[in-house]
Structure 1
């Protein structure tokens, strides 16, 4: 496996540096490795949740929909950009999720640079429109300088139900919403805090091995992150609203949607801690929502930039936070069978 900071010349050592400069370089190198690790860990977590939910939905609706096929439960993941982050993300998805290589596609300006992945069954090409029209989850790993061009290609080809997950630095979710004319966008907003343990990320030499390390999994847990990097509760809320929107797009009634989402976490919380409609949407709307009526579509842009019922609920419920954290760690620590 490749070093997560290999090829990044700005992080190579220079014997001519002063001690202060070496210390600064050390911190930057740790932050770079930490961001790569956390970005991939959180993407793996999201994809495993979404994949599991889609399988639950397929099983739940199989009796009423006799034409449902095995393919309907498969998650189609697209990666736009095969630079440093794109390659590390692809490795993580291939080795740490149950998504088949045939259900991952990559669009890159240099498809020939991804031949190793092609041999594993991943289709690589350079056609951003084709990728957007196909994907259920689309990861943006391109350069900020390419963003406007990329968004012009994508916006008319994205379905409403395609989740766009952005790793593009320095571009807020509100800007992406405007450029893509799309509000089903998840953008992790990482920030840095001073600490004495940032060097723990330097043990992430081989990313997919690091993703199985309990100490690193603990440090990357979204609600309790350590190592000088933080994420915040908005991302967790947006992930849960993502699951809700997937149920809505499948035309599931609110009762079924809540049952399936709670089922994803059933090992980590008890019945009296289940999410209910009032935790997710306005109380006045929740009271009038019929069991067979789907939840309203939730704008993830609003979920990440405004206070929501879910954010208020989670902020005041430490037990639920602990259960979500336990579910995160359990999902990443549980070894998954690799693809043949």
Structure 2
């Protein structure tokens, strides 16, 4: 569809704003871009790592061709919610991981909004229970206000080995554990601090391209995203911090990773 307002400056968001207001607006844009980038980057890294380790484990019993294709026991990735975060995450997984579209399923209230992904081979439907029972890794990308309807659907349908990776803001892991009746949950908690280097995220005009940018990769590294660093010192991470501390986050992620891989090994 053609953008009918393309080139019409009077329709831009910045029109009518003072320089000070534009400055605050750019901070908000940088914050949104930085949080989205880091969320997708860490999720993509997890998917790649789990996929690789599962292939290594299977290499002891399978031939090289089947291991490379991942056909024997593919990693099943589910995404619940197709809003902005869900679409960005799905696009990132499709372009930045070896996981095939046929091994990704999406549950959304509006499956028609994901028609482009369906054409690529991703199955989209509105059945949260079906998604929960199928997925090895389930990404929650819905709004907090939808939890009252989503959690009853997922409760008692999640397999014990399914890792629930939550992007839902303002809902701690302890609360999710209670609502889902499931304790295998990973939830990054990001914070944004305005600083001179925060505008590095404004270059994220195309997320999957940005995921290959060395400077942005360094800025999103969990080890450098120290929540204990002074608020004025954000040279290493562009203003985005990660809770718990980056090293602790990496430790928690590895623990979850070993649990997924361990279950895959036992199921052989």
Q: Where does residue 182 of structure 2 map in the other structure?
A: 182
Q: Is contact 1:77-1:137 (8 Å) kept?
A: yes
The reply to whether residue 241 of structure 1 matches residue 252 of structure 2 is: no
Residue 123 of structure 1 and its aligned partner are, at CA, apart by 0.3
Equivalent residue number for residue 8 of structure 1: none
TM score, norm. by length of structure 1: 0.66
What are the within-5 Å matches in structure 2 for residues 139-218 of structure 1?
139-218=139-218
Q: Is 1:104 the equivalent of 2:104?
A: yes
Alignment correspondent of 2:125: 125
Q: TM-score, normalised by structure 2?
A: 0.84
Structure 2 portions without partners, runs of 5+: 1-11, 64-68, 226-236
What is the distance in 2 between the residues matched to 1:174 and 1:166? 12
Maintained 8 Å contact 2:54/2:264 = no
Gaps of 5+ in 1: 1-11, 64-68, 253-340
Q: Using the alignment, how far apart are the partners of 2:135 and 2:27 within structure 1?
A: 36
CA contact (8 A) 2:80 2:139 kept: yes
The 2-side partners of 1:155 and 1:235 are apart by 26
Matched-pair contact (CA < 8 Å) for 2:57–2:265? no
Shift of 1:158: 0.1
Shift of 1:235: 2.0
**Equivalent residue number for residue 25 of structure 1:** 25
Q: CA deviation at 1:243?
A: 2.0
Please identify runs of 4+ aligned residues in structure 1 that moved more than 6 A: none
Cα RMSD (Å) of the superposition? 1.7
Contact 2:163 2:186 in 1 (8 A): yes
Q: 1:70 to 1:223 in 2, by over 3 A?
A: closer
Q: 2:50–2:261: 8 Å Cα contact kept in structure 1?
A: no
Compared with structure 1, are the counterparts of its residues 250 and 89 closer, same or farther at alpha carbon in structure 2 (3 Å cutoff)? closer
1:224 corresponds in structure 2 to 224
